[in-house]
Amino acid sequence: MSDLYRSAMHARIAKLPQLPPDVPGEEDEDEEDEVADSIGALPSLSTNSPSSHLPRTPNPEYAPISGASYFSEAVQVDVPASKLDVRVYYTPPQTTDGGAGSVMVCHHGAGFAGLSFALFAKEITRMSKGELGVLSLDARRHGKTRPTEGSSDEDLSLNILVQDLYNLLRVVFPDASAAPSFLFVGHSMGGAVVVNVVPRLLEAEYRVSGVAVLDVVEGTALDALPHMPSILNSRPEGFDSVSAAIEWHITAHQIRNITSARVSVPSLITPTPEPRPRGKRAFTWFTPLRTTGPYWEGWFKGLSTAFLAARTARLLVLAGTDRLDRELMIGQMQGKFQMVVVPNTGHMLHEDDPLTLAQTLMEFWRRNERVLVGIKKVGDL
């Protein structure tokens, strides 16, 4: 565990089993629950199953992969202000001058989790030679983040999610003057969260070198909301095994990178509680997206204005060129932000092509970190 974490928070460290990145292996019995909790036990082929079919034998091609080799640490961070025990995946920056360095803070979209950035994070660490750290979290009601003090984590409104991220960073990096500079990366719903947390952190005198939003545009998102119920109805209610869930994400083109799916999908599902209701599969979705419907409009309304108003470098990364709304089109013509299109990807572009996205973000970070450092030096003089 890094010295930064020892001094910044009281946390329980969940040791990740050391598995190779591309092939599944066997975990030691005394390992913490990184794989066991996120994967769960495979369903038995019981003849007393209430469903009318026998579960298929899991396909080894879609076997889950541990996140061990993609981040240095998996930590549960107690965030009292939010009444949450937040799962954080973290690789600290390696600095040679004794400074705080820079950390890329990644926030996932609705229904996904922090491990969706696993392959991308490893590319960032490799390309920066460890100079740029990466922190990826599970939001409330997602992944391994849990409520504390008997509280509820049902509220997924934008202000609550923004406050959660702000509170987490204040716990992990309590001293703004000694904290690293932050580069925020948010996918879909997470894009709205990171855009809106920037002014709060700047007001608290943290350094922010940039904000990148992945494949979300206010106008397009709001236009798509009426179609969301039918989209969700096309998703299976559950799965016979973790491998089946991974296979569905690949065959349904939800994720186009099989390695990334094998790492990230296990954290999206959970074993169905026993006694299992008749007809229910062995695994269900951890975050029931239908119940988040009341928050959809609030996530995206005003996003373009907030993005263009952020007092930091701005980057919009899209999977297609036809997704800009009017406000962003005007902003782009005025040179208010950088836009990059990652070809041959879907909505989960950070999973589909983590290498290209990492190259884009590295260029963005190096260019704007130099500007940030230059401004600070002028201020010191």
Would you say 42 and 100 are in contact if contact means Cβ atoms under 8 Å apart?
Answer: no
Report how far residue 319's alpha carbon sits from residue 188's, in angstroms, rounded to the nearest whole number: 12
Catalytic residues: 188, 215, 347
Report how far residue 182's alpha carbon sits from residue 319's, in angstroms, rounded to the nearest whole number: 24
Residue with tokens 């204040």, as numbered in its chain: 170
Would you say 119 and 257 are in contact if contact means Cβ atoms under 8 Å apart?
Answer: yes
